[in-house]
Amino acid sequence: MRLSKQSNYAVRALIYCAANPGGLSRIRDIGTAFGVSEMFLFKILVPVGRSGLLETVRGRNGGVRLGAPADTIRIMDVLRVTEEDFDLTECGREKCGHCPLGSRCIYETALGEAMRAFAQVLESYTIADLVADTEGVALVLGINDVPARPSAARTSTAWAAKALASGSDD
C-alpha cells in the first residue's frame, strides 16, 4: 500500500503549522520547506480546510494554522480526508463478485485485518506526536528564519475553502 502525495503533504503541512504554534503559516513558506509548489499545496489543502483540520485567515497578514489542537488531530483523520479509499484490492470494492472463492476467501479476511491494524496505528498518532520536538522541527523546516507575522483577527472556515480554492494566500 502506498499513500498518495496529497496525504503525505497534507500531513506535512499540518506538521509545519504545529511547529509554528504562535503564528500563521504561509502556503509559500510551507511549499519552500518541503520543496513542493504553492499550487499543489492549495489543491490538497482545500479539503483539509473544509474538514476543519486547517483554518485559513484572510488579509495581508493572513495564512493557515491548525483548525484544532495538534493533540486532537490524528494522522488517520487527515488520511480520511485525503485518500479516496482504503481498499487494498478490488475485493473490497466489488465484494469479490468476480472471484469463485467468494465468502470462502481468507485472503480478503487477511487484507481486512491488515487494514484495520494499519488504521489503528495511525489513529494512535497525533500531529502533536509528530512535532514532539517542536523547536527542532521548526529549526529544520526553517520556521525561525521566516519573518514573524501577526495573527489576523478575522477568521472563517467557509472563507478558508474559498481562499484556498481561489489560490490566494493574502
How far apart CA 16 and CA 7 sit, in angstroms, is 14
- The model's pTM: 0.78
pLDDT digits (tens, 9 = 90+) for 101-137: 777 778 888 888 999 999 999 999 999 999 999 889 9
Pick the range with the lowest mean pLDDT from 21-35, 45-59, 92-106: 92-106
pLDDT digits (tens, 9 = 90+) for 147-161: 554 444 434 444 444
pLDDT at residue 33, as a whole number = 95
Q: Phi/psi of residue 43, each to 5°?
A: -60, -45
Percent of the chain with pLDDT strictly greater than 90 = 54
Domains of the chain, start order: 5-166 (1.10.10.10)
Q: Are 18 and 130 in contact (CB under 8 A)?
A: yes
